[in-house]
Structure 1
Amino acid sequence: MDDETNDDNADPKLEELQIGGRLKHARILQGMRMRELAERVGCAESMISKIESGKTTPSIVMLQRLVTALNRDLSSFFGASVSAPGVVQKAGERPISTTDAIRGGTGTSYERLIPFAAGNLLEGNIHRIEPGAEKVDTITHQGETMGYVIEGELDLTIDTTTYRLGTGDSFFFKNHLTSRYRNPGTTLARVLWVNTPQVH
């Protein structure tokens, strides 16, 4: 199986697709260690490390095994259209979605700044929180989140500590912590919310 993870058999085009970063984020999101992934695909743990660090590029056969082991498919791993990343999205034309079913909360929605289907590692949204609305996220994972309050007020709780934020305030936290927020004000709150990896 070594030839399936050898640089000589790797497709040169794959080197441009940030495979290492995508693989690491997908593995972390699954809560899987490098050793476990290596065992699932039948290669050395050091090979997974080299792929994730960008020191080597897997062959297409090995890439398929890696993606399958991570309960993904190539389409979702790279996105529906790698060649059309959506560089510009005009105001008023960005998609808006409600909170997903696995997270609690009402009266909140996301205005997507980065197309989820584009296979990007980074996720960016404008969270729109109606007065009195809240979102509860008890799901933890590896990664980081930063935010900036564009307008309105926000009560942000990280683990057990609550912070009152207003227009112009910003925040940052590691995603192994639980989080929740609530709009205590009487007007719509809009928060620029950026995190990695894509989870919503």
Structure 2
Amino acid sequence: MQSPPGGHPPDLRSPAGDIPAELPDMAPRLRDLRRRRGLTLEAAAQRAGLSPAHLSRLETGRRQPSLPMLLSLARIYGTAISELLGELSPERDPVIRGGGREAAAADGWTYHRMGSPGRAMQALRLIVPYGAQGDLVRTHPGEEWMYVLDGRLRLTLGEAVHELGPGDSAHFDSLTPHRLAAASRDGAELLFVHTLLQSPDLYPHP
């Protein structure tokens, strides 16, 4: 179902801004990683494109990071999203069994880890609820690929807006300003892959 014309999707988060309990160790993990890299709060926030106050709220558990924030912080701290989400096992089993790992939730999105930790390519299955992070625009090094499994997804790349349905996919340079939002009221489910590797770009960035 389409969003109401001329309006923004409603914010389905609680009025009190309740923080999901699924990531109790996220805040201290972010703080510890920053300190291990020898970065001040101000330096890390500047590199991530955040305000120091926002990063401080992430590190104290008063806010949960969005997917773009996780990607940016993982790059700055020289680690993988899987470590930020608590997947610390050094093993790299090539087979990932369905149901073998618990999902994590942050800022309304649900993350299912689909790959091994410590890899240059991060693979996730995402569930994006309607009304979550619709106005968050991010840019960061690397490439992103996504494939819609269920629902409809609104992908904004620069000035262009695309609506993707089940079976549709997108592959783009993540230096292009972009944002994701569910376009159907039941949300959207997608496979998501990110890598810091950059392919030669034949066209200028918008």
| TM-score (norm: length of structure 1) | 0.50
Per chain length, whose mean CA-contact separation is higher, i.e. which structure has more relative contact order (CA < 8 Å, sep 6+)? 2
Q: Which has the larger radius of gyration?
A: 1
Higher strand share: 1
Higher helix share: 1
| TM-score (norm: length of structure 2) | 0.49
